Amino acid sequence: MRLLIALALALAVALAIAVAIGETSLSENQYIRGLADPASGPGEILWSIRAPRAVAAALVGAALGLAGAVMQGLLRNPLADPAVLGVSATSALGAAVVIAFGLAGVSGAIEAAALAGAFGAGALLVILANRFETPETLVLFGVALSALGGAATALIFNLSPSPIAANEVLSWLLGSVANRDWGDDAAMLVPGLLGAGLCAYAARGLRMLTLGEETAAMSGLPMARLRAAAVAGAALLTGAAVALAGVIGFVGLAAPHLTRGAVADDPAATLAPSALAGAILLVLADLAARLIPTDQELKLGVVTALFGAPLFALVAWRASRSWRA
C-alpha cells in the first residue's frame, strides 16, 4: 500500500511538472491567471493543450505498464510486453487499415480496429504459449508477429494512394500523444477501465501460474476463465493505448521490472504498481520529447525506444541466466 501511495504521489508530481513546463515559458502572473481562469490565454495552454496531453501520456503509460505486467505473469516471461510480442504492431495494423481506407473519421473506427488487431495477436500468443513452453520460443514468435504486423502496415503505407493517409499511418508507427484533447482521453477510459478490471480479476490466476500450467490446472482455480480474462484485459489495454497514441514500445517491459522487486516478485501484486510506474515513465518520456530541442518534436515512441532498447538487452541478459539455471 505504501508503494502505491508513493507511486501515486510521484505520478501527481510528474503530471504537475508536465503541465507546468513547456515550449512556451510562462511568467508567475501568467501561471496564476492560467490556473484561475482556464479560458484565458495561459489557461488555454495549461488546461487545453498541456494537461490533456500529459493525461493521455499517463493513461497510455498506465495501460501499457499494466498490460506488460499481465503478459509477463501470464507467460512467465520477463521479456513479455505488448510491443515485444507483436500485440502493438498488429493493433497498429488494424488502425492503419482503417486510416488507409479513409474511415478514420468514422467515430470509434480506429479504436475498434486497434482493439481487434490486439485481440487477434493476444489469442494467437496464448495458443502458441500453450504449445511451446520455453520462454525464448515465445519471444521469437513475438518478433515474427511484430515483423509481420510492421510489414503489413508498411505495405498499406506503400500502396496508399493518398499521401495524407500515408503520413497518418507513419504517425501511428512512431507513436505520439501530441494534440490530444480531453475527448480523446475520455474515449480511452471505457476500454481502459474494462481492461484493468479484467486484469484485476485475473491476478490470482497469474500468481498461481508461477508454479506452471499443470499445477495451476490442478489448483481448483477456474484457470481457463482467468487466462481468458488476462488475455482480453491485456488486449483491451493495448488496443486502447494504440488507438490513443499509436505504437509505443518498452513501457510495458520496463514498468513491471521497476516495481517487481518492491513486491517480492509477486505477479499479482505487481499489477497496480506497474500501471502507476508506466504512467510516470510515459509522462516523463513525453516531457523529454517536448523539451529536447530539435527542429521537429521527437516522437514519443522514438524516445521510449531509445531508453527501452538497452533496458530490454539488460533484462534479456539477466533472464537468460535464470533460464539456464
Partner 1 sequence: MSPALELRAVGAEKAGRAVLQDVSLALAAGEVLGVVGANGSGKTTLVRASLGLAPLTAGEAWLGGFAVRTLSNHKRAALAAYLPQDRRVGWSLPAWRIAALGAPSAGPMQARAAALGALKKVGMAGLAERGVLEMSGGERARVLLARLLVTRAPLFVADEPDAGLDPDAQRLIMELLRAAAGEGAAVLVTLHDLTLAAGTCDRLAVLGGGRVLSLAAPEEALSPTVLRTAFGLEGGLVATAAGPVLAARRSAPGAPALT
* Contacting residue, 201, 210, 311, 316, with partner 1 by CB under 8 A: 210
Q: Least distance from C-beta 117 to partner 1, angstroms?
A: 28
* Contacting residue, 43, 219, 291, 297, with partner 1 by CB under 8 A: 219
How far is Cα 65 from Cα 82, in angstroms, rounded to an integer?
9
Provide CB contacts within 8 A for 183, sequence distance 6+: none
Whose Cβ is closer to partner 1: residue 32's or residue 224's? 224
Q: Least distance from C-beta 270 to partner 1, angstroms?
A: 9
C-beta atoms surrounding 210 within 10 Å: 14
207 interacts with partner 1 by CB under 8 A: yes
Span near partner 1 by CB under 8 A; candidates 146-154, 186-194, 204-212, 306-314:
204-212
Alpha-carbon distance values, 313 to 122, 141, 236 (Å): 23, 18, 27
* Contacting residue, 208, 242, 275, 279, with partner 1 by CB under 8 A: 208
Alpha-carbon distance values, 294 to 76, 116, 175, 180, 298 (Å): 40, 35, 17, 21, 7
Whose Cβ is closer to partner 1: residue 14's or residue 85's? 85
Q: Least distance from C-beta 224 to partner 1, angstroms?
A: 8
* Contacting residue, 107, 220, 294, 324, with partner 1 by CB under 8 A: 220
Alpha-carbon distance values, 168 to 100, 119, 238, 239 (Å): 9, 23, 19, 17
Site for partner 1 in 258-297 (CB under 8 A): 260, 264-267
* Contacting residue, 38, 41, 212, 310, with partner 1 by CB under 8 A: 212
211 interacts with partner 1 by CB under 8 A: yes
Number of residues that bind partner 1 (CB under 8 A): 25
Whose Cβ is closer to partner 1: residue 152's or residue 221's? 221
H runs (alpha helix) in the chain = 2-20, 28-36, 41-43, 51-75, 87-100, 109-131, 135-159, 163-174, 182-208, 213-217, 223-245, 251-260, 271-291, 300-324
Nearest 5°: CA angle at 227, between 250 and 184?
A: 50
For cell 520462454, the residue is 135
Query: Cβ(277)–Cβ(206) under 8 Å?
Result: no
Site string for partner 1, 55-74 (x = CB under 8 A): ------------------x-
What are the residues binding partner 1 (CB under 8 A)?
A: 73, 76, 204, 207-212, 214-215, 217-223, 260, 264-267, 322, 325
